[in-house]
Amino acid sequence: MQTQNSNTAHSLYALYETLPNETQQQFLQELLQKQSDKVETLALYLACQEAKDENEFLTEDEAKAFIDSLPK
């Protein structure tokens, strides 16, 4: 099932790449308007995964500063 999902995702992206630039921009705008929470969550997850894979962790002070900067 994972391979099928991967193939489907790749095919959809290949289709996206064939669209004219204006259509790509309109698609991205609508995607962000309607799915911004999912896009932001995925972006954060991927950034964290990359940092973990590269063993780049925040220091305790950096982690505290980051947590303190979050909206309450």
| Res 1: pLDDT | 59
- In a 13 Å sphere around the CA of 61, the CA atoms on its Cβ side amount to 0
- Tally of domains in the chain: 1
DSSP string, 44-60: HHHHHHHHHHTT----H
pLDDT at residue 23 greater than cutoff 80: yes
Dump pLDDT digits (tens) for 32-69: 999 999 999 999 899 888 888 888 888 889 888 988 89
pLDDT tens for each residue of 1-10: 578 888 999 9
Residue 23 structural domain: 2-69
Mean pLDDT (whole number) for 15-26:
98
